[in-house]
Structures are given as C-alpha cells and as structure tokens.
Amino acid sequence: MKNIGVIGGGSWGTALAILLGKKGYNVDLWIRNNNQVEKMKRARENVRYLPGVILPENININNDMLKTIHKKDIILLAVPSHAVRNVLEKMYNHVDANQVIVNVAKGVEQNTLFRVSEIVKEILPESSYAILSGPSHAEEVAKDMPTAVVVASETRKVAEYVQKVFMAPKFRVYTNPDVIGVELGGSLKNVIALGAGISDGLGYGDNTKAALMNRGIIEISRLGEKMGADKNTFAGLSGIGDLIVTCTSMHSRNRRAGIKIGEGYSFEDAKESVGMVVEGIKTAKSAYQLAKEYNVRMPICEEIYGVLYKDKDVKNSVINLMLRDRKHEMEDIIDNLNCTW
C-alpha cells in the first residue's frame, strides 16, 4: 500500500489522483483554494476541471500542504511550472530524503531558465526526482482511455519504482534515463502548439500544421542536444508523441489559446478565454532566451516569441518563416558529413 501526496488540484493533478486512487493507494490531494476544496468534498467531483468524473473515496481532499506530504512515499508535483519554486520552498524542512518527488509540470522557469529538476536539486538536493511526461490529456486519463507516458530519472531504480506505482491497465508507463530530454520535450512542445493554434486561427490547413510540427521538433531536438539531451528522446513519447497530441487536440489549452491569437486576440485575452494556465506563453520567452544562450537556430520559437512579446503581426511571421534562406532539410547532418553533395 502506497501513500501518495498530490500537490495541485487542476485537471492533471486530479486525473492522476483518480488513477492512483483506483489502484487502491491512499491519496491526499492538496488544493490551494479552500472554497474549491469544500465543493469537491461535497460533490466528490472536480466540477471546474473534470466535470462528470467521480473521485474515489480513498482520495482525501484538503488545503493543508504539510499534511498532504507528511509520511508519503511519493510527492506528486502537479502545479504550473512557474509555481514549483514557491511550493518547494514551503516544503523545505518537511520532506524526507526517502520520499520521491515526481513532477508532471511542463515548463522552464523564467529568469533562471531552470528546468524543474534543477529547481528541485537546488531546494531539495537530497530528494530523489522523476519526471512523468508524454501525450496525456487529463480528460482522457480520468475516463480510463488508453494512454502511454514516460518516466525519466537519473537513477534507474527510481524510474522503475515510479513506473510500477503508476502503471495501470489503461495507463502504460515507459522508462527513460534522459531527464533533460523528457523535460525539454514536454515544455517546448507547448510553444509549437501555440503556433499550431495560431495557424488554425489564421485559417491555414493541414499542410501548414504538418510543416510546423515537423520543423518544430527539429528545433526542440537541436536545442536539446546542445543542452545535453539524447536526440532519440525527441522521437519518443515526450517528444513527437506529446507534440502531436498538443498540436492537434482541442483538449490542448496551448492550441486553444493559439487559435484565439490567430483570430486577433491579445495573448492576455486568449489566456482568459481558455480559463486555465497556458504554459506555452511563459515558455516561449524561456525558449527564446535558451536559444540565444546556446546559440541555436529556432526560427519558429523566435517568431512565436515575437508575436507574444514584440507585437509582431502573425501573418508577417508566417511570411518570415516561409521566405528564410534556402536550407537542406537535414542541414545538421549535411554539415557534419563533409560530403560534396
């Protein structure tokens, strides 16, 4: 019997709490807003984020973070990436070295440009850490629709432990040692998904989106390799897998926000229309800064950053991308071959 504390009662935190509760684990679910706590206790349902999905009775909903993490085998971080540091600082001195931190937030911290694993290492250096990521809409996981994800940790023992805890008949979990790649794939695909939504909002078609997704994963893997990731990770669940689902589904808050921006809304109004955190908006700035820091060509991310933060016209951004200097499709490979082709 595992005891698990889930920090964050949005759609994804709630969906994973339900998954773990159905496996028979004791689950404490911490939610910041006490009014929402009381509503969920009465209804046994997260009406705001996952209407119609009943919470198992072994999920205890509360507003006490320290109680939620006390004597838990796993602490699941399911808050937006920009809130991770604040949450961890509140946990400081209350986390046991034997507890495993499992993160499901997808983003890069602004200013520091830290991935979540780096924030955890700074604040809780003795804790074991794993990232759970992949193509996984909360709305579908909560309804037991077959889903495959990946868990990455620097330690194989930790990755396989988390894999065993989360594995379920409709929730398949793979392992991967590449923490950097899994974190970057899950974070940066949100920026490309914003671009896919913008394309939809402009009225462009499947050709445009396919090109955007394909060249987008190349940009992500190019930066990932420079940062120490394995390029093969970006062909997996947290790379192209997560990119596909986020760029094509209306469950994707990043795509929905992008559609509004393409239709002419400001990104603030687009965020408000979605009604949930749109990670890609903050991550677009971090991606732009990382590209500069590592001297990596990321033209799609650069144009999306320009649209969000420099008031660039979206149609002009499309023209800029289409009329860039002529390139080889596999330019990095061609450059390294030293051939006369």
Q: What is the DSSP string of 72-114?
A: -SEEEE-S-GGGHHHHHHHHTTS--TTSEEEE------TTT--
Buried (b) or exposed (e) across 6-28, using 16+ Cβ within 10 A? bbbbbbbbbbbbbbbbbbebbbb
CB atoms within 10 A of CB 67: 14
CA distances from residue 210 to 140, 216, 283 in whole angstroms, order as listed: 24, 10, 22
pLDDT value, residue 322: 81
Residue ranges in the chain modelled with pLDDT below 70: 330-341
Residue 23 CB partners (closer than 8 Å, separation 6+): 168
Phi-psi region of 324 (alpha: psi -120 to 50; beta: other; left: phi over 0): beta
Q: How many CA atoms lie within 13 A of 220 on its CB side?
A: 32
From 329, 285, 323, select the one nearest 307 (Cα to Cα).
285
Residue 267 token pair: 């990104």
Q: How far apart are CA 57 and CA 275, in angstroms?
A: 28
Q: How far apart are CA 27 and CA 22, in angstroms?
A: 10
pLDDT value, residue 340: 61
Please state the separation of Cα 323 from the chain's center in Å: 31
Point out the residues that are catalytic.
Answer: 189
214 near 247, Cβ under 8 Å? no
Alpha-carbon torsion (144, 245, 101, 47), positive or negative:
negative
Which DSSP category does 231 fall into?
A: G
Domains and CATH numbers, the chain: 3-177 (3.40.50.720), 180-337 (1.10.1040.10)
243 near 196, Cβ under 8 Å? no
pLDDT value, residue 337: 59
CA distances from residue 322 to 4, 189, 199, 201 in whole angstroms, order as listed: 49, 20, 13, 18
Q: Tell me if residue 316 falls in helix, strand or coil.
A: helix
Residue 314 CB partners (closer than 8 Å, separation 6+): 198, 202, 261, 262, 307
Beta bridge partners of 175: 151
pLDDT value, residue 27: 98
pLDDT value, residue 275: 85
